[in-house]
Amino acid sequence: MPIGVKAKVVFFFTLLPYFLIYFIIQAYITTGDYSFITWADELIPFNPHFVWVYHTIIPVVGVTLIFLIQRRELFLSAIAAFLLAIVTLFIFYIFFPSFYPRENFIDNSSISGFLLECTRRIDGAQNTFPSSHVTFSWLITFFVGLSIYVKKNRWLYMGYLIWALLISFSTLAIKQHFVVDVFSGMLLAYLSYFISKKVVFERLTNSN
């Protein structure tokens, strides 16, 4: 598929609808009924510098979908998986809103702390479960592992695995998410990947 077409599909079918609906949900659901904090969350120290890792999610996902996932069947399967994951995330955010108390995790002395505060002004604390950052990072990692380019460059896939792990840890280090949000995000990513691979990718591949 032409890069321009892929870029439009990524923008209009994933990024734009996700952010539009996400902020609408935030506007109407302002409190969370559930808190999943555990001893494991309390063991992880607050580190605002991981906010820089946290914000790599959009550029990495966008560049990967547009440039590295080249086969039409694989690209369409990845888009379908992202849509499935997005719908599932929104169902949880609407009907199962969870809340992370962030009042004690503030840094007013660094650029990272300032960026984190700006992030929190945009991204509310009432929609943590599952983590969309974790879901999207692992979902793109699963799919990029099927691309021909990455199969020829296995070191690149290892880079994606490390990045997905860092994204997952960053959500905990900057106190945006609970540990359960991370594992549920990984599970959602795998289920979305598995369903799309079976329903979309294999059917498109077999029909050619």
Reported as a single tens digit per residue, the pLDDT across 155-175 is: 999 999 999 999 999 999 999
Q: List C-alpha distances in Å: 181 to 34, 133, 160, 177.
A: 12, 10, 20, 6
**pLDDT value, residue 47:** 97
pLDDT digits (tens, 9 = 90+) for 66-89: 999 989 999 999 999 999 999 999
Domain boundaries, the chain: 45-94+107-114+128-201
Query: Alpha helix locations (H) across 70-178?
Result: 72-95, 111-122, 132-144, 148-152, 154-173
Determine the average pLDDT of the residues in 182-192.
98
Which pLDDT value is given to residue 154?
84
Task: Check whether 208 has a pLDDT greater than 70.
Answer: no
For residue 170, what pLDDT is reported? 98
Global pTM reads 0.95
